[in-house]
Amino acid sequence: MLTIVREVLAETLWISRFVLKGVVDSVTRNTGWGLLALLLSAVLWVIVTGEQNPPKVDVFASPIPVEAVNVPSDLGVLGEVQFVRVRITAMPEAWARITAGSFRATADLSGLRSGTQEVGVRVTASDSQVRILEVLPPKLPMAVEALDSRQVPVKVNLVGTAPLGVSIGDPKPAVSLVTARGPAPLVRQVESAAIDIPLEGLRVSINNQSFKLVPRSASANRIEGVTLDPAAVEVALSVEQHISYRSVSLLPSLQGQVPDGYWMSALRVDPAAVTVAGPREALEPLTYLNTQPIDVSKLESDTARAVNVALPQGLSLVEPRSGSVLVLVFVSPIQGSQTLSVAPALDGLSADLKATAGSIPVTLSGPLPRLRQTKATDITVTLDLQGLGPGTYNMRPKVTIPNGLELAQPVSLVSVAISKG
């Protein structure tokens, strides 16, 4: 309870500092009673305002990196950057704008010797409305060791695979040795000053281009806390291209003819062009390439076939990498029509009557292969004579046709003669 009271009192005095700052000059000219009245009024205003809009006290969420300062010239700091958190107090509007960059945490290493020691951390805020209440943790173990330096070899690593038809020479750094500096235990771990050069897509020589050096251990891990002098080195790398590349249009090759009664409505190849590699003299006269042939003699519907590209000798396919392309053949039946004579069926005629009616022409339309399979017996033409007596009648027959076909035109009226049996 006493701790809470002390914090509230400290908070009140801290806030009152901003309130009283603007009136100090004027009140010093007044009498003691006037000064007392102003002070009492200010304190009362601070208390009322604090109750209505109290400052927020909490631990700031983001960790703050600790900067080592005043490091002795003959020592270096080991290990990665350490972080602390802070418990602060500020008005709500100040909380909304502060970030980790609003704070600076420092550890003063002046007077330290080699080894690991607990060092106090000091945190300051750039925002005057933010007050630091506590640093968590208040001290950090800091490891410092004597500085050392030694020369390490420059190692150029060629990373990845060179493009097809490209030969890569030996890399030549401008210098073979550089100086590694830092804490002795770290410097002892440095096996090389490394440069990584990616080979993918590399088709031209590198002429004395500068590359940044990275201190690495024998297991190729980066050693933090060590500097290299110089920090970058120029490297020359010869690249010779023996094979040229070219994008060439692709034409599908077909074998045979589609069956009778069908036609090829469309033909496509995906992709429409391919990339090939080979000697320049073999690529220059090339205007297009064919696919391996596709037999279409039995195709009666749309189809897709994966086929290889027919490559001349000495050329190789670069794209697509799968080595095959997709040929799409669109085949449709030819549409036609034909007329068949169909004898009608007479339904509903009385037993004492007889009727005569000639064959009825029925014209059908549809796919030609389907029409060629259709016979007159596949069509039903019916005349309904129910309730009719002797006489001659013009009647509309009922026609039933096979699925997939249509009547090309309506069936005409049929003349039916009915007489006594």
φ and ψ at residue 409, rounded to 5 degrees? -155, 155
Q: Are 332 and 326 in contact (CB under 8 A)?
A: no
Nearest C-alpha neighbor of 231 from the set 208, 212, 216: 212
Does one domain contain both 107 and 183?
no
For residue 78, what pLDDT is reported?
A: 85
Domain assignment present for residue 285? The answer is: yes
Name the domain boundary from 272, 307, 333. 333
Q: Is 26 exposed, middle or buried (0-12, 13-18, 19+ CB in 10 A)?
A: exposed
Q: What is the mean pLDDT of residues 310-328?
A: 89
Domain assignment present for residue 376? The answer is: yes
**391-to-353, 385, 415 alpha-carbon distances in Å:** 11, 11, 10
Name the domain boundary from 108, 137, 166. 137
Does one domain contain both 98 and 132?
yes
| Rounded-to-integer distance, Cα 237 and Cα 157, Å | 12
Q: Are 300 and 345 in contact (CB under 8 A)?
A: no
Q: What is the mean pLDDT of residues 291-295?
A: 94
| Rounded-to-integer distance, Cα 282 and Cα 273, Å | 17
pLDDT tens digits, one per residue of 179-191: 999 999 999 999 9
For residue 27, what pLDDT is reported?
A: 44
Q: What is the mean pLDDT of residues 254-264?
A: 93
Is it the case that residue 369 has pLDDT exceeding 70? yes
Q: How many CB atoms lie within 10 A of CB 379?
A: 19
Nearest 10 degrees: Cα torsion 209, 210, 214, 218: 40
Helix/strand/coil for 146:
strand
Does one domain contain both 256 and 314?
yes
Does one domain contain both 265 and 317?
yes
Domain assignment present for residue 76? The answer is: yes
Does one domain contain both 233 and 157?
yes
The DSSP call for residue 3 is H
Q: Are 189 and 223 in contact (CB under 8 A)?
A: yes
Does one domain contain both 195 and 261?
no
CATH number at residue 363: 2.170.120.30
Q: What is the Rg, in whole angstroms, of the alpha carbon atoms belonging to the chain?
A: 48
For residue 163, what pLDDT is reported?
A: 78
Helix/strand/coil for 47:
helix
pLDDT tens digits, one per residue of 4-27: 444 544 555 555 454 444 444 544
Domain assignment present for residue 229? The answer is: yes
Q: Is 226 exposed, middle or buried (0-12, 13-18, 19+ CB in 10 A)?
A: buried
Is it the case that residue 171 has pLDDT exceeding 70? yes
Domain extent at residue 82: 64-137
For residue 386 the two structure tokens come to 């129910």
Does one domain contain both 255 and 324?
yes
For residue 1, what pLDDT is reported?
A: 41
Q: How many domains would you assign to the chain?
A: 5
pLDDT tens digits, one per residue of 52-87: 678 999 999 999 999 999 988 888 888 788 999 999
Q: Is the N-terminal amide bond of 344 cis, ω within 30° of 0?
A: no
| Rounded-to-integer distance, Cα 92 and Cα 134, Å | 19
Q: Are 363 and 409 in contact (CB under 8 A)?
A: yes
Does one domain contain both 191 and 221?
yes
Does one domain contain both 320 and 359?
no
pLDDT tens digits, one per residue of 102-155: 999 999 999 888 888 999 999 999 999 999 999 999 999 998 888 899 999 999
| Rounded-to-integer distance, Cα 167 and Cα 165, Å | 7
CATH number at residue 315: 2.170.120.40
Does one domain contain both 307 and 329?
yes
CATH number at residue 119: 2.170.120
Domain assignment present for residue 59? The answer is: no
Q: What is the Cβ-side half-sphere exposure of residue 129, based on CA atoms within 13 angstroms?
A: 12
Domain assignment present for residue 379? The answer is: yes
Name the domain boundary from 185, 209, 241. 241
Q: Comparing 41-45, 325-329, 339-343, 394-398, which segment has the lowest mean pLDDT?
A: 41-45
For residue 186, what pLDDT is reported?
A: 92
For residue 4, what pLDDT is reported?
A: 44
Domain assignment present for residue 142? The answer is: no
For residue 30, what pLDDT is reported?
A: 54
Is it the case that residue 312 has pLDDT exceeding 50? yes
Average per-residue pLDDT in the chain? 86
Alpha helices in 22-133 (DSSP H): 24-27, 32-52, 92-95
Is it the case that residue 29 has pLDDT exceeding 90? no
